[in-house]
């Protein structure tokens, strides 16, 4: 009979207990993450072998054998190649990067005018850093200075031609200066323009919608190289004789428009992910279209697509190298241009130059990536809907 007694009353509530020791500490971490099962263990061991095979030769080439100083190609060539290094030597030629560093940064910008570029760079950093740190107050003023005042001041400083500043024409610009200018303008223009295009594409007004769709699909349907090439070669054909505008400006416009088409699609993805209830909640309170969009929809939509937005930024940053097609030289372009300098031509030069360029690109892209992850965490209020 007793087995039919379903009666049970808990007399004392169970207290929480500490997790078992096996679940904590570094040993537990290694067990869990590296050697959880045989397959994991094999993968871990293979991974370790690969690291051991690649890392020491790389360190050897880049740091141990590397030639840090020198005045010409002989420092980076073996005796048989007409240099001073012993037979069989293989190391990075940082002397080349060292000697050409100014060119890599500024291109053919006149040496005595380079302080202008440096001044612009200092302003850029001084305005960007506080903008990126959430704790620093006065974001509105800061953003205004960075997005409106800075480009105007920078343009005057870099181009010159007034107040006794000699004019520096844009074909002389090059290197990191060109990379950063193109990226800055591309990013600053493409985000707002992309948002407008995305809103346009979802608009109920047929003309606005059609124009947005045509723009996005046309620009997205052609390679960036084509856009740049057309801007450089075809555009002058359509302009009246005698009218021309700067090649670099054309590249800036081309890159910005190209990036905004991609941005529009990224933002549209975010807009579509916002539940209908958010629109209705805003509508029911009597918010106007722009209030609803600016205060409710966009803050949530943009937060959702931060990875996509930064992805587009990074893509844009690296695509700037394509301006070589219209004979402008960004960082990579200048590095490649210098391979053919007879004073520095050696078997190690191209690899060293490219590794340097790659490192610079990587630093910027990784920075953007880390910052975007930081922002995602910061803006996460912990729930959907």
Partner 1 sequence: MAIENAVSADDIKVDGAKMHISDTDVAIDIVGMHKWYGEFNVLKDINLKVMRGERIVICGPSGSGKSTMIRCINRLEEHQKGKIIVDGKELTNDLKKIDEVRREVGMVFQHFNLFPHLTILENCTLAPIWVRKTPKKQAEEQAMHFLRRVKIPEQANKYPGQLSGGQQQRVAIARSLCMNPRIMLFDEPTSALDPEMIKEVLETMVGLAEEGMTMLCVTHEMGFARKVANRVIFMDQGQIVEENTPAEFFDHPRHERTKLFLSQILH
Residues that bind partner 1 (CB under 8 A): 277-278, 280-288, 291, 295-296, 299-300, 303, 379, 381-385
Structure tokens at 82: 């007409």
Nearest to 98 by CA among 131, 75, 77, 124: 75
Residue whose CB is less far from partner 1, 208 or 287: 287
Residue whose CB is less far from partner 1, 169 or 280: 280
Q: Residue 274 CB, nearest distance to partner 1 (Å)?
A: 10
Q: Residue 372 CB, nearest distance to partner 1 (Å)?
A: 17
Residue pair 260/201 in contact by the 8 Å Cβ criterion: no
d(CA 227, CA 250): 10
Nearest to 338 by CA among 80, 101, 90: 101
Residue whose CB is less far from partner 1, 193 or 297: 297
Residue whose CB is less far from partner 1, 66 or 305: 305
Residue whose CB is less far from partner 1, 127 or 375: 375
Q: Residue 177 CB, nearest distance to partner 1 (Å)?
A: 38
Q: Residue 292 CB, nearest distance to partner 1 (Å)?
A: 10
Residue pair 174/180 in contact by the 8 Å Cβ criterion: no
Beta carbons within 10 angstroms of residue 70's beta carbon: 18
Half-sphere exposure at residue 307, Cβ-oriented, CA atoms within 13 angstroms: 4
Residue whose CB is less far from partner 1, 298 or 360: 298
Residue whose CB is less far from partner 1, 145 or 375: 375
Q: Residue 385 CB, nearest distance to partner 1 (Å)?
A: 6
Q: Residue 379 CB, nearest distance to partner 1 (Å)?
A: 8
Residue pair 101/69 in contact by the 8 Å Cβ criterion: no
Please name the helix (run of DSSP H) or strand (run of DSSP E) that holds residue 211, with its range, or none: helix 206-221
Q: Residue 295 CB, nearest distance to partner 1 (Å)?
A: 6
Q: Residue 124 CB, nearest distance to partner 1 (Å)?
A: 30
d(CA 28, CA 196): 51
Nearest to 179 by CA among 20, 333, 355, 289: 333
d(CA 160, CA 299): 39
Q: Which residues contact 111 (CB under 8 A, 6 or more apart)?
A: 102
40: buried, middle or exposed (CB in 10 Å: 19+, 13-18, 0-12)? middle
Residue whose CB is less far from partner 1, 38 or 286: 286
């Amino acid at each position: 009979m007793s087995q039919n007694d379903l009666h049970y009353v808990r007399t004392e509530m169970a207290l929480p207990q500490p997790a078992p020791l096996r679940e904590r500490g570094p040993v537990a971490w290694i067990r869990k993450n590296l050697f959880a099962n045989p397959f994991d263990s094999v993968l871990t061991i293979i991974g370790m072998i690969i690291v051991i095979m690649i890392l020491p030769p790389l360190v050897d080439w880049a740091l141990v054998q590397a030639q840090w100083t020198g005045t010409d190609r002989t420092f980076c060539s073996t005796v048989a190649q007409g240099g001073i290094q012993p037979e069989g030597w293989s190391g990075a030629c940082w002397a080349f990067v060292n000697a050409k560093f100014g060119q890599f940064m500024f291109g053919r910008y006149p040496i005595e005018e380079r302080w202008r570029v440096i001044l612009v760079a200092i302003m850029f950093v001084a305005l960007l850093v506080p903008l990126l740190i959430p704790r620093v107050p006065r974001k509105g003023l800061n953003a205004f200075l960075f997005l409106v005042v800075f480009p105007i001041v920078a343009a005057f400083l870099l181009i010159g031609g007034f107040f006794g500043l000699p004019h520096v024409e844009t074909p002389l610009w090059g290197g990191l200066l060109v990379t950063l200018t193109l990226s800055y303008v591309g990013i600053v223009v493409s985000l707002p323009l992309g948002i407008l295009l995305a809103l346009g594409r979802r608009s109920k007004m047929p003309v606005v919608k059609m124009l947005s769709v045509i723009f996005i699909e046309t620009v997205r349907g052609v390679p960036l190289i084509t856009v740049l090439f057309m801007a450089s070669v075809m555009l002058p054909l359509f302009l009246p004789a005698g009218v021309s505008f700067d090649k670099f400006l054309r590249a800036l416009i081309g890159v910005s428009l190209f990036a905004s088409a991609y941005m529009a699609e990224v933002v549209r993805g975010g807009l579509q992910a916002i539940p209908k209830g958010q629109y209705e909640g805003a509508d029911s309170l009597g918010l106007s279209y722009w209030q609803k969009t600016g205060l409710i929809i966009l803050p949530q939509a943009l937060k959702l697509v931060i990875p996509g937005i930064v992805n587009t930024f990074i893509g844009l940053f690296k695509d700037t190298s394509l301006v070589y097609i219209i004979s402008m030289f960004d960082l990579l372009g200048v590095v490649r241009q210098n391979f053919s300098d007879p004073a520095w031509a050696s078997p190690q030069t191209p690899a060293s130059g490219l590794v340097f360029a790659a490192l610079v690109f990587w630093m910027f892209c990784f920075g953007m990536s880390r910052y975007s992850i930081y922002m995602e965490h910061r803006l996460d209020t912990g729930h959907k809907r």
